[in-house]
Amino acid sequence: MHRPSFPPTNSNLLQNKSPDRIKYLVNGDHEHHLASTVRLYDNDNTITRFIRWIKKGNQTIPSDRVPLVIDYDIFSTAESGGTIESKYGRYKEVLGWGSSSTVKMAYKPNPHHGPKGYTYAVKAFRQRANESQNAYHKRASAEFCIATTLQHKNIVHTIDLLSDDHGRMCQVMEFCAAGDLCALLISVGKLDETEADCLFKQLIRGVAYCHQTGVVHRDLKPENILLTTTGCLKISDFGIAECVQYAWEKTSHRSKGLQGSKPYMAPEIYITKHFDARAIDVWATGIMYVAMRTARLMWTKAEDTDSMFKKFKLSCGSGEGYRPIEQFEGAHRRQLLYSSLQTDPQKRINSSEILNSQWLSDIVVCKAGQRGY
């Protein structure tokens, strides 16, 4: 593992603001206590994000302005029609930006629910160069349709799609105050076993649900995994997701195209024209678990031209095992990771099998992860 994905844990600049990030209870359960931060939805590389994080002074959102627990009853209270500001409040912060969108935090006071009010994340889609108005609206609508179809506690709740005063298509979503998984790893470094296991099981629950619904994400990575301050994980950003099997179909469609983020992309993407994108998602979850436990990427690209990926293949083929995975305790854990990172997609474990595995059955998920907020 040759390249740090995140800053080293001994950095004096980004000390964890909450040393008691995870609290162990006498009954064997645990609680997460994550700091409320400004999220970076940026699609740039990690080093660029780290520099930007430094320049922002590790900015935090005042706790008296943001409800740390999502009240799901509010999702049915917004009035029909009207502008973004009248329905969801004024913009307070730019949470992040990428090549295709900008995400802002909107805050709407509510005198009936105390001083905190309601907080939302609003994703404004950016029209691409030479993109027709029809294609622009179709792209925003496609993501919204998939996102609203998925109703699961480990998937970000998508609320509305409407135009702002500038004619931009805007998608309104629940706000996750603890930011994304990448920001957490930047801030604290590697996670301990209990914390990583809890988040991983929540991730697999969300992925398995997507696959059972016929949807593939295709861009699973820490930047697209959001967290509440209580430790509930939410999968976000369905910009390149697709439906590979509709309810009336007996078989799934194959996917194509070189899409995703290279460190998390499975090897078959580079060598086959059509592939099972569900196996692509599973591969990415395995990479993410190792990232959570080590705060490092396994390799830059899953091709033989990458020395670390080549070393991984040789280590697995020799029967010796790959050192970064061999360091983890528990034979069930190690075997499942190897099965998730099986280079032959036909032999790779699927998300339902992961969810029903002995390892995940033994993982205790925090109460926030169980209830969804």
Annotated binding site for ATP: 123
Length of the chain: 373
- Alpha helix ranges (H) inside 244-357: 268-271, 277-294, 307-318, 323-326, 331-340, 351-355
Q: How far does Cα 230 stand from its chain's mean position?
A: 16
Q: And the tokens for 12? A: 């004096």
Contact 194, 22 (CB under 8 A): yes
Question: Which two structure tokens, joined as six digits, stand for 94?
Answer: 């730019």
* 78, two tokens: 């917004």
Q: Which residues are annotated as a binding site?
A: 123
Q: Catalytic positions, please?
A: 219
Tokens coding 9: 């844990």
In Å, what is the CA distance from 91 to each residue of 51, 88, 101, 237, 350?
24, 9, 15, 20, 41
Separation CA 347–CA 162 (nearest Å): 43
Residues with Cβ within 8 Å of residue 273, at least 6 apart in sequence: 256
- 3-class secondary-structure state, position 67: coil
